[in-house]
Structure 1
């Protein structure tokens, strides 16, 4: 193949990188520069970049969908609990209020400790729910109305 001579000025640091790469791979600098130019000018280069970006976006979309699903489960569970608690818990008489407040503080401390232990282990209710699903059901929100 006939070759044409080209003279170009590049940044000194870039020249040093080309020089080091040529020495490391034991190839002429011309070969490295030709490969870089061919890659830059290749029409497939843009398509490959676009395909990589699309794959990353797809992965991010799936991750976001899982987060939305988990958030919906969390919100629904909390709403159901609050509704149940509000409809079944009678108001406290004034004479037992302080004792109930102290007991509530104690229970909340236990709740926070349990929560921190579970999160440290990586054990979450969402993961347990997914494991408890019947075979073939992939969405924990199926059947919740």
Structure 2
């Protein structure tokens, strides 16, 4: 709304503002396509409005609620990841017998090769947006087992 559309007389007043605030006001008025006096009027009216603090509090509450939900999902996903890793390590340590020293270099080479393949597969999954958490949540029974 511009000053020309306001009903009633307007009163000119003079305020002193720090230069950085004036620059911010100039930039905002330019971006919004408003006169600086109109931007100042709107800002002062918002600040003095009795509903202003309640609206701000409601907006902050909505934002905090949204952030809380995001944190809950992150906590759930990290918990699933930790549990999956723990189960895998336990199963691997239980099922893997100690290996003899003979052929150690070949096993280390094969281990590096497998690790490189693992990192490549992980990179593909992450870049595609696929996650273990999504798979687990979409199919809590797990893959069908052959009879």
TM tier, shorter chain?
Answer: 0.7 to 0.9
Aligned residue in 2 for 1:96: 103
Q: What residue in structure 2 maps to residue 137 of structure 1?
A: none
How far residue 126 of structure 1 moved from its aligned partner, in angstroms, is 1.3
Counterpart of 1:141 in structure 2 is: none
Alignment of 1:1-145 (within 5 A): 5=11, 7-11=13-17, 13=22, 17=26, 29=37, 33-133=40-140
Count of residue pairs brought into register by the alignment: 128
Residues 8 and 106 of structure 1: CA distance in aligned 2, closer, same or farther (over 3 Å): same
- Displacement, 1:2? 7.6
Matches of 2:114 and 2:138 in 1, distance apart?
28
Whole-angstrom CA distance in 1 between matches of 2:84 and 2:39: 60
Q: Measured at CA, do residues 108 and 35 of structure 1 come closer, stay the same or move farther in structure 2, by a change above 3 Å? A: closer
TM-score normalized with structure 1 length: 0.72
Instruction: Tell me how far apart the structure 1 counterparts of residues 134 and 91 of structure 2 sit (CA, whole Å).
Output: 24
With the length of structure 2 as denominator, give the TM-score of the two structures: 0.71
Q: What is the RMSD computed on CA atoms of the aligned residues?
A: 3.0
* 2-structure distance, mates of 1:89, 1:34: 74
CA deviations over 1:33-71 (Å, ceiling 9, x no partner)? 544332211111011001111111000100001101111
Q: CA deviation at 1:89?
A: 0.4
